[in-house]
A and B are shown apart, each in its own frame.
Chain A
Amino acid sequence: MKSSENATIAKARSIYGKRLKYNDYTELASRKKVTDAAEYLKKNTYFSDALSNIDTSTIHRGFLESVLNKAYYDGYEKLCKFQHLDRQPFFNFLLVRQEIRELLKALLYLNNDSNDVYIESMHTYMIEKSGIDLMALAKAEDFKAVLKVIRHTPYYDVLKNVKPDSSGNIPYTKCEVLLRTYYLKWLLENAEKCAHGKSKKALIDQINVQTDIINIINAYRMKKYFNADAETLEKYMLPFYGRLSKEKQSALFQTQSSEEYLRMLSHTSYGRKMEQLSEDMESDQFERELVKIRYAMAKRALMFSEDAAVSLYSLMYLQEVELNNITNIIEGIRYNKSVSYMENLIVLQ
C-alpha cells in the first residue's frame, strides 16, 4: 500500500457510503413526474450539490440525465486530482472510455446520416474534456473526415486501416471491436505499470471479468437474435480470456441455440454465480444478472483494497451502475411504468 494514496482510498469509500440505498430507489420510483424525481435527488441524495443551481421544477428528463452524468464525471476528475493521481496514465481510464464511446456514437450516427442526432446525444461536458474535437467530429460528413478529426489522437492508428464500403458505410462492428480491444489493452498495460502485487491482481481480475461479461453478453445477443455461428462470434468477440478460458469460450460459441448457450453457461463460474439463470429468461434480465456479479466484485474490491487504482476503478463502476439505475427509473417515470417494473431494473447488492 502506498501510504500517500490512503486519503483517496478513504475518500472513495466514503463517497460509496453516500450511495443511493434501496429506500431511495423506491422513493424515487414512486414519484409521478420527472421533476418530482429531480426534486427528490436534489433534497435527499448526494446529487444535491450537482443540482443546487438547477431549477428542478421545470427540468427536462434529458437535461437531468446530462446533469447526473456530468456529476459522475466531475466526481471522478475530482478524485483523480485530489492527490494528483491523474499524472499516472491509468487514472485516465474514464476519459479514454468516454472518448471511445463518443467516437463510436459519432460513427453509428454517421452511418445513419444523422449527425443532428449525434450532437443531441453527445455528453456536453466531454466537449471541454476530450482530446478529440467533438464539434468537428459532429460535423464530419464521412469516414475520411472522421479520420482527419482524430488524426492526432491514439485512435487514428486503431481506425486508419478500416475501409468503408462502396456506398460509404463504415463497418461499425469492426470499429467497435477495434476500439474496445484498444481500450482493454491500454487498460491492462497501464494497470500492470500502476499497481503491484495483490492490488495488481485484483485490478487485472476486475478488467478480465469486465471483458468476459462483455463477450458473454454480446455472444448471447448474437445467438438469440441472429443465431450467429461460432465463426462469426469468434470474429466479433474481444480477443481476451479472463476467467473463461479460450476453450470454454469456444465451446460456448459452438452451441447451436441461445438455450443451449445458457445451459452451458450455467456450468461455468459465471453461471454458478448468477442468482437467476433460466433458458426462458429475458435478455435484459440476463444482462442484469451478469452486472450483479461484477457489481459484487467491485464492491468487495472497494471495501478491502489498499490501492487507489483498485478503489477508484471499482468506485467508478459502482457509480456507473447507480447512474444506470437512476436513469432507468427516470425513464420509467417518463413513460408511466409501474413502480414494480422500475424496481425490477435496479441492480443493487
Chain B
Amino acid sequence: MSIEKMEFVTVVGLMKYLDRALANCADSGYFHIADAVKESAAEETFIRLDGENPYKSLLKRVISVETGNEFSFEKTDCDDIAAMSIEQIEEKVTELENSFKEITGKISGCSEKITQRRQVMTQLKHLKGMKIDFQKLFECSHINVRFGRLPRESALKLSYYDDRTFIFIPYDEDGSYQWGFYFAPADSISEADNIFRTLYFEIITIPDFVRDTPEKEEEILGAEIAKLESELSDYEEERTKLIKENGGLLNSIFSFLKYRYDLFELRHNVAAYKDKFYMVGFVPKSQIDEFMKLFDTMEEVSVVVNKAGDSVVMQTPVKLKNNKFSKPFSMFVEMYGLPSYNGFNPTMLVAITYTLLFGIMFGDLGQGLVLSLLGWLVYKKSGNKLGAILQRVGISSAFFGLLYGSVFGFEEALNPLYKKLGFEHKPFDVMDNTMNVLIGAILIGVVIIFVSITINIIISFRHKDYVNAVFGNNGIAGFIVFGALLAGLGCMMTGVANLFTLPYVLCLIVLPLVVMFFREPLGCLVKGEKFHLEGGIGDFIASNFFEVFEFMLGYATNTLSFVRIGGFVFSHAGMMSVVMLLSETAAKGVSPVIIVIGNIFVMGMEGLIVGIQVLRLEFYEIFSRFYDGNGQPFEPVKINYDTNIE
C-alpha cells in the first residue's frame, strides 16, 4: 500500500551488444527506459542514437499487403524467418505482395463494375416509362442531349430563358431535385451548358454500354450485376484460400520485423560515445536481481544500479503497490494523477472511504448484492476496474442495507431476522433518525478532514516543507484552529460547556490564525532564509487577510459538504418509498413490474449519482489537502504488435 521502490539502472556496453541489451530490457517487462542523452546532458561527448529505422519500409510493405478485411496481423512464432537474411525476407514479401495484389485487383475491378452498374440503374429508374432509345438518342448529329438533375429551386428561373434555343424536360422528382434532360441544337449546346451550369444542373453521364430503352437496360444491367457478383464471390473465395495458405508466413514476417522495428525505436533513448552505448532506466527494487541475471552472460555489458532519486534530471516513475482490496481503486487515483515518487499512495485511503461512504449513501441489502454481482460479471468479462470497484461497494451497500433494514425497498422484510437475532426492530431506521443521520454525516466529514490534515502534516515534514506542515491551513496551525472551533461549537451546542473563553480563543484560534497569516515569513525564518516582501506591505496584508478568510470559509464549507452523505441516505429511502407507493396503488399484476423497474431505475440513477458524489468528496475534500498528483507513471518498455507505425 505504498509506492514501489525503484532502482536507477545504467547499462553500458559495446555497441555491438546494444540490440541484445535492448532485447533483454524489452523482454524483461519491467524496465522503464529513460532518456540517456538528457541524463548525460553535462557530458557533451555523448550523442543520441538517431537515424531512420531500417525495418520501417519493409514492415510498411508487409502491413500494406492487400489481404482485405478478413486478415489481421498478430504475434506469432518467427524462428523460421529469423534464420533468413533480410534479402530473402524481402523476396518473400514481394511474392506475397504480387499474389495478393493480383487477386485484390480482380476483386476491386469487379466491385467497381458492380457499383457503376448500380449507379446507372438508379439513374434509369428515373427514366422509366419514357420510351427513350439511348442508342438512337446518342446517334443524333444535330441535336445534343444532356441527362441529369436540377435543383428544384433553380427550375423557377427557367422561365427567364424562354427565348433561348433549348428545351428542358423533367421526368421525375426526388427530394430537392428535378430529374430531367435538356437538348439543344449542336451549335448552341455550349450556351445551354453554360446556362444550366449557373442553375447548378448536375450532368449524369450515361455510359457507352447503355444502348437500349430504360426498361431493357435495367434488365440487361440486372443480369450483368448478378454475373459480376458471382465472379466477385469466386475471387473472394480465392483470396480466402490464399490467406489460409500464406497467413502464417505473413504473420511470422510481421512479428519478426515488428520486434526489430520496436527495438530500434528504443534507440532514440540511448546515448553513444565512440563504440559504446549508454542506456538508463528504472527497474522495481523487487525485480532488480532478476534483471541483473539477464546480463550475466554478457560480459562486455555492465549494469550499474543506483538508488532512484539520485539523478537530478530524471523523475523517478511511480508504480503503486496496492493490496487485493484496494487495487481497483488505483483507477481513481490515476484519474487524478499519480503521486510523486516520494509522495503518499492514497489508494488505501480512497478504497476505505469510498467503500464506506458509498455503502452509507446507497444502503440496500438487495440492491447492494445485485450491484456486487453485476460488478463481478463486468470485471470477469472485460477486466474493467470499475466492475471490481462495484463488487466492493456493492457489499458495503448490502452491509448498510442490513443495518437500515432495507431489501429492494421493502423496509420490513428483514424484521423476522432481527427478531431472531434478539432485536425488537431494525437496528437503524433512517426516517426516524433524521438529525442523527445529518450529524453523523458531518462527523464522518470531520474525521476525514482531520485524517487528511494529519496525512498532509506527515508528508510535509517528510519533505521538509515546514511552511505547509506547521503554518499552513492544512498543517498544525490549521489542525488546531479547526479542532478548537469544532470542540468549542460542539460543547456549546450540546450544553456541556462554553469553551470560548478569552485564553481559549486567543491561544487556540487567534494565535494559529496569526501564524497562518505570517506563514511565509515564518517559513523563511525556519529555513534561515531572508523574506522578500513582494508588492509592498499593503499587498501582503490584503492578500494574506483574504487567504486566511478563505481558509476559514473553507473549513466551514468543506465540513458542510459532507452533509450530502446524509442527504443521499434520505434520497435513497425516499425514492424507494415512492416506488413502493406506486406499486401499492397499481393493479395486482402490474405491481411486481413497477417494483422491478423502480429498483432498476433507482440502482442505475442513484448508483451513478452516489458514485460521482463520493468521487467528488474524495477529490475535493480529501485529495486537495495533501495530494499533488505530479507523478510520472511507470511504463516498462515492451514490443507492441499492432500495425500502427510511424
Contact = CB atoms under 8 A, between A and B. Distances in A.
Interface of A: 53-55, 58, 60, 62-63, 66, 70, 119-120, 122, 124-125, 127-128, 135, 138-139
B202 A139 contact: no
A135 B154 CA distance: 12
B153 A124 contact: yes
Contacts of A58: 202
B176 A120 contact: no
**Dominant SS among interface residues on chain A:** helix
Q: Which 7 A-B pairs have the closest CB atoms?
A: A53-B175, A63-B200, A124-B153, A53-B176, A120-B198, A60-B200, A127-B156
Given A53-B175, A54-B176, A127 B157 contact: yes
B160 A139 contact: yes
Contacts of A55: 177, 202
Nearest to A119: B160
Nearest to A121: B198
14 contacts: A54-B176, A55-B177, A55-B202, A60-B200, A62-B198, A63-B200, A70-B153, A122-B157, A125-B153, A127-B156, A127-B157, A128-B156, A135-B159, A138-B160
Contact of B160 (A70, A128, A135): A135
B153 A62 contact: no
Contacts of A124: 153-154, 156-157
Interface string B148-162: 000101101101100
Nearest to A51: B176
A60 B157 CA distance: 17
B188 to A, nearest CB: 15
Nearest to A62: B200
Interface string B8-34: 000000000000000000000000000
A276 to B, nearest CB: 32
A41 to B, nearest CB: 15
A70 B177 CA distance: 15
B168 to A, nearest CB: 15
A119 B157 contact: yes
Interface in B180-208: 198, 200, 202
Contacts of A138: 160
Contacts of A62: 198, 200
Nearest to A128: B156
A138 B176 CA distance: 24
Nearest to A52: B175
Contacts of A125: 153
Contacts of B153: 66, 70, 124-125
Given A53-B176, A124-B157, A128-B156, 20 more contacts: A53-B175, A58-B202, A60-B200, A60-B202, A62-B198, A62-B200, A63-B151, A66-B151, A66-B153, A66-B200, A119-B157, A119-B160, A120-B198, A122-B157, A124-B154, A127-B156, A127-B157, A135-B157, A135-B159, A139-B160
Contacts of B157: 119, 122, 124, 127, 135
Contacts of A53: 175-176
A60 B160 CA distance: 21
A135 B161 CA distance: 10
A60 B149 CA distance: 13
B84 to A, nearest CB: 43
Interface string B139-181: 0000000000001011011011000000000000001110000
Contacts of A128: 156
A77 to B, nearest CB: 15
Nearest to B155: A124
Nearest to A64: B200
Nearest to A63: B200
Contacts of A60: 200, 202
